[in-house]
Amino acid sequence: MANIELDIWRGDWGLASIDVECLKILTYMKFIGVPVRVRECKSPFFTPKGTFPVMRDGSTVLTNFEAVVEHLKTLHYNTDVHLDSKLEAEASAFTQYLREKLYPAIQYAWWVDEKNYSELTRPTYAKALSLPFNFYYPSKFQSSAQEMVDALYGEHADLKDVERTIYSEAEKCLKTLSDRLGESEYFFGNRPSTFDATVFAYLAPLVKAPFPNPTLSNHVKGIANLSRYVARINQKNFRHVTDEYNKQNKSKNTTSTQSDREAANFPHQTRNKVLAAIFATIAMTGFAVANGLFTVNFKDEFDPTQDYNDMFENDEDDN
Amino acid sequence: MPEYSLKDSIITSLNAQEPWPDNVMLFQPYEVEQILLPDNASCLAVQAFLKMCNLPFEVEMRWNAEFMSPSGRVPFIKCGAFVVSELEPIVQFAANKGVSLCSRLSSEEKAEMRAYMSLITNVLVNAELYISWIHEETFNSVTKTRNSSVYPWPLGWIQTRSKRNAVTKRLKALHWHDKTLDQVLADVEQCCKSLSQRLGDRDYFFGSPTELDALVFGHVFTIITTRLPCRGLAETVLRHSSLVSLAKRIDEKYFKRP
């Protein structure tokens, strides 16, 4: 009955999407098992907010997680039926807590940290975008992340100070989460809830992405029950994505020997050889002609002057 | 910055040995003619926290308290050689002196308390900022006059403008700026619902007073006692009677004037 489409940023590193918001919605939809057609899009130019995710269901177009959850509730898809009102209150409090403490740190690690941005974020998003847009969108997202950090931590603050504050708050937040989770399978009872989708979307990229400056992701990896939690949810819901990624990686690893490198060089090498040969031939011929080593003789085939001479000679004889 | 790390280490090591001095001063803007709704709420929360801890302090009103504060936000306390601003660092500071309201809570309960405190600072504070600075009617009739009351003429206008820009920027970064008033009030309603559900019919959130109670008191009490052209915020909060009675209880117990 539901004919839901979801446009997202492409995935990488065994994740279904590189973007936190996309991952939230995808995870939530996996939890409830709603049939959805996912498309990895390459240009967010025509979307309402200039970014993904965008969910379409008939004429409804939604761009944020809360709205999607509400919309799916009207279709009787809901993960939070097992929560009583008290747990629901707690879940909303914890959602705000993550939003306040962890989200700025994630934005900082992705976009504001110079090294991560130039070595990881920018290339990743450039790959996810099609040609004219990859020059525009990464820097746009970066400046909006920068603005957020400025607005929250003061515009003229020293970046090193800000980094330390942000990361230490995030670390405290992760410890709190870990205390709350304990050894249970999900945060609230033994069934996934909206909050679990949120936590997974925040933490999974930190665990999986190869950050050049891994301060924040090391905090996550250092907490055993949280990293097990992420692995568990990933295994249960995104197994096919991870498997496919691993398979691709493996095939790349085994063949990435000499033949692989040659194959990568292949078109260039042939082209270069041909070009060099043509250039050498032209140069040598030109040199030979200029020095008169051999002359191109057109006279053999047809020489009009000779005919004239002949005619002239004949005339002379006649006279 | 070296002085920053020095401050950290001093607070954690040296400071613990000294007891709470008698001459602690809490700085805040003028309550009657200057202070704005969000600042008033956080000042009241800090006062409530200090009173719950039985720590003596004196309130000192300064028109430029905001600019004296190390973080640029009010209130802040001056305790011996240390200047600490805002509720969370002050709670930390008091804990280093051995004064804590939540020492008997389990780590799970502490996690929960932190989450609820975030709920308030994320939803109620932003809603207060939105109403004071973005809602046209309130801004024109209340915020503008109060904020510029302490400055001479052209400076007041300039300062109000720049502060409004700063608040706008903050709300934009948090995606609050493009909300309508109704959406803001719906968020506040949701937040109050969560809080009153957690409180149930207990006297305090965790049995005895904690900094969460202080924070809730600061915001709820300020919202319901401040007269604004926009009644929606106060009406939304007033609908949750358990929160209102919590605020009244704390007011009577800790702020009753002799």
Do residues A34 and A4 touch, judged by C-beta distance below 8 A? yes
What 3-state class would DSSP assign to B160?
helix
Alpha carbon distances (Å) from B248 to A42, A101, B215, B256 = 56, 31, 14, 10
Q: Which CATH number fits domain B2-96: 3.30.2010.10, 3.40.50.920, 3.40.30.10, 3.10.20.30?
A: 3.40.30.10
Distance of residue B198 Cα from the nearest chain A Cα, in angstroms: 6
CATH number of the B107-255 domain: 1.20.1050
Q: Is A300 or A86 the better-scoring residue by pLDDT?
A: A86
| Residues contacting B58, CB < 8 A, separation 6+ | B23, B24, B25, B26
Closest by Cβ to A93, choosing from B119, B169, B172: B119
Question: Do A81 and A113 fall within a single domain?
Answer: yes
Question: Do A241 and A138 fall within a single domain?
Answer: yes
Q: What is the pLDDT of residues A186-242, one digit of tens each?
A: 888 888 888 888 998 898 888 888 888 888 888 888 888 888 888 888 888 887 777
Q: Which of A255, A285, A300 is the last residue of a domain?
A: A255
Q: Which of A49, A92, A141, A198 to mutate to test the interface with B (most CBs of B within 10 A)?
A: A92
* pLDDT of amino acid A281: 93
* Residue B3 pLDDT > 50: no
Provide φ and ψ at B86, rounded to 5°.
70, 160
Question: Do A296 and A176 fall within a single domain?
Answer: no
Q: Which of A215, A239, A255 is the last residue of a domain?
A: A255
* pLDDT of amino acid B2: 38
* pLDDT of amino acid A315: 53
* pLDDT of amino acid B4: 46
Q: Which of B105, B174, B193 to mutate to test the interface with A (most CBs of A within 10 A)?
A: B174
Question: Do A17 and A73 fall within a single domain?
Answer: yes
Question: Do A242 and A272 fall within a single domain?
Answer: no
Instruction: For chains A and B, count residue pairs whose Cβ atoms are closer than 8 Å.
Output: 78
Question: Do A271 and A250 fall within a single domain?
Answer: no
Q: What is the pLDDT of residues B75-102, one digit of tens each?
A: 888 888 888 888 888 888 888 888 888 8
Closest by Cβ to B122, choosing from A85, A89, A99: A99
Instruction: CATH number of the domain at A172, please.
Output: 1.20.1050.130
pTM of the model: 0.77
Contact list in A for residue B188 (CB cut-off 8 A) is: none
* Residue A99 pLDDT > 90: no
Q: Which of A255, A283, A302 is the last residue of a domain?
A: A255
Which of A172-176, A239-243, B229-233 is predicted with the least confidence, judged by mean pLDDT?
A239-243
Question: Do A200 and A83 fall within a single domain?
Answer: yes
Say how far apart CA A98 and CA A119 lie, in whole Å.
26
Say how far apart CA B167 and CA B177 lie, in whole Å.
10
Do residues A212 and B141 touch, judged by C-beta distance below 8 A? no
* pLDDT of amino acid A301: 55
Contact list in B for residue A92 (CB cut-off 8 A) is: 119, 190-191, 194
Question: Do A263 and A116 fall within a single domain?
Answer: no
Do residues B51 and B255 touch, judged by C-beta distance below 8 A? yes
Question: In which domain, by residue range, is A121 found?
Answer: 4-255
Question: Do A236 and A298 fall within a single domain?
Answer: no
Please give the tally of structural domains in chain A. Answer: 2
Domain ranges of chain B: 2-96, 107-255
Residue B242 at interface with chain A, using a CB cutoff of 8 Å? no
Distance of residue B186 Cα from the nearest chain A Cα, in angstroms: 13
